[in-house]
Amino acid sequence: MNISDRKKRLLWQVPFLCFLIAGTVYIIRQQQDSPYQHNRGAIFGTTYHIAYQSNDNLEKEILAELNKVDASLSTFNKRSIISRINRNESVAPDEMFLEVFQLAEQISKETDGAFDITVAPLVNACGFGFKTGAKPTPNTIDSLRRIVGFKKVSYSNGRIKKQDPRIMLDCSAIAKGFGSDVVARYLRSKNIKNFMVEIGGEIVASGISEKRLPWNVGVARPTDDSLNINQELQAVLSITDNAMATSGNYRKFYYKDGKKYAHTIDPRTGYPVQHNILSATVLANNCATADAYATAFMVMGLEKTRQLIENHPRIQAYLIYTDPQGHNKVWFSPALKDKIQN
């Protein structure tokens, strides 16, 4: 090819390149100019806040997705799949229920039963004790422990099998996170890149915020403020393209005989945990996983939590705990160092 031919070919390529560049700039500007929608409401016995960049308000479609989760996993919904299973009706679990059930089973195994979706009878019994100041008797706890344990429930032949019909399933420690995941999936299916989904404090974030900055979320500083008036922050985490969930017992406790008892119940013993973790914030690839591990870490305590995280690099945690002198301390996964904003 001679020089003249090369020049002619280049002249044909220049308009195409200009068109390509112009198109790219147009798309980017369109994305930048698109407004952020803000949807708020109530679901799963809590509230939700969803922000996403889109020309269309998708609140109706988002609520439809949340109602699917409610119809599968909410114990507040008497016609939900989980409620019917708890009543021992013959019902086939839907895909959402199975996804959460199998994830819960996996995390229960990995945490040696610290996370357990059958713990509800113990929580209810001890919850009554928190309100009245009267702890359940050892005989009551021993009796309830017979119907608690993730190994006593399984899935086979299209049905959930319970070793004892009195066993109750409660996915509240994983369902809010899963709900956030479901909404995030829907937004991604609509090619929405920038969003933050928050349901009851369980969050999935992607892309950038309305301020054109990464999504940042505060971690509350633990206090004995039962009215939740003080909102001091312990830290601010950058959680873009991550899911985050927090569990804490520092506003849910009572004193008896000089001891501080948390609302968190150890499914393996039946008794409230007595250790030094005040708050566990977990980052993971999906919010259901983060939600479940945050609950488990409150049961496991500091050392066992650190050991588990060392063996599960996909899980990152920010833990607030008390030292022997009663001072608040912080431990966090090394991978979180660059995500802590203060």
DSSP states of 84-119 as a string? Answer: HHHTT------HHHHHHHHHHHHHHHHTTTSS-TT-
Give the position of tokens 């509240």: 172
Residue 53: pLDDT band with limits 50, 70, 90: very high
What DSSP string runs through 36-77?
A: EEEEEEEETTEEEEEEEE-SS--HHHHHHHHHHHHHHH-TTS
> Residue 13: enclosing H or E segment and its boundaries?
helix 3-33
177-214 pLDDT per residue, tens: 999 999 999 999 999 999 999 999 999 999 999 999 99
Q: Could you tell me the CA-to-CA distances from 121 to 73, 116, 143, 267, 268 in Å, in that order?
A: 17, 12, 10, 10, 13
Return the pLDDT at 230.
Answer: 58
What's the distance, Cα to Cα, between the start and end of the chain in Å? 61
User: How confident is the model over 256-283, as a mean pLDDT?
Assistant: 80
| CA-wise closest residue to 115 among 124, 125, 123, 105 | 105
Kindly report the average pLDDT of the chain as a whole number.
86
Residue 131: pLDDT band with limits 50, 70, 90: very low
pLDDT at position 157 over 90: yes
Least confident window among 87-101, 251-265, 317-331: 251-265
Give the span between the Cα atoms of 98 and 111, in whole angstroms: 20
Least confident window among 10-14, 165-169, 192-196, 248-252: 10-14
215-248 pLDDT per residue, tens: 999 998 877 655 555 568 889 999 999 999 999 8
Cα angle 44, 163, 139 (rounded to 5 degrees) comes to: 85
Q: Do 169 and 91 form a contact (C-beta atoms < 8 A)?
A: no
Residue 123 CB neighbour total at 10 angstroms: 20
Return the pLDDT at 6.
Answer: 56
User: How confident is the model over 292-318, as a mean pLDDT?
Assistant: 94
Cα angle 247, 262, 43 (rounded to 5 degrees) comes to: 40
Return the pLDDT at 248.
Answer: 83
pTM (2 decimals)? 0.86
Q: Do 227 and 108 form a contact (C-beta atoms < 8 A)?
A: no
User: How confident is the model over 91-109, as a mean pLDDT?
Assistant: 98
Q: Do 193 and 27 form a contact (C-beta atoms < 8 A)?
A: no
317: exposed, middle or buried (Cβ count in 10 Å: 0-12, 13-18, 19+) = buried
User: How confident is the model over 51-57, as a mean pLDDT?
Assistant: 97
Give the span between the Cα atoms of 103 and 292, in whole angstroms: 9
pLDDT at position 7 over 90: no
Return the pLDDT at 342.
Answer: 67
Return the pLDDT at 24.
Answer: 46
Return the pLDDT at 25.
Answer: 41
pLDDT at position 256 over 80: no
Residue 195 CB neighbour total at 10 angstroms: 25
Residue 111 CB neighbour total at 10 angstroms: 22
| CA-wise closest residue to 73 among 293, 292, 297 | 292
Secondary structure class of 226 (helix, strand, coil)? coil
Domains parsed from the chain with CATH numbers: 36-339 (3.10.520.10)
Return the pLDDT at 328.
Answer: 86
Nearest 10 degrees: Cα torsion 228, 234, 239, 244 = -50
What sign does the dihedral 11-13-16-22 (CA atoms) show? negative
Return the pLDDT at 315.
Answer: 95
Residue 9 CB neighbour total at 10 angstroms: 10
pLDDT at position 31 over 80: no
- Backbone φ and ψ of 105, nearest 5°: -60, -45
User: How confident is the model over 296-304, as a mean pLDDT?
Assistant: 95
pLDDT at position 141 over 90: yes
Higher pLDDT, 137 or 133: 137
Q: Do 289 and 190 form a contact (C-beta atoms < 8 A)?
A: no
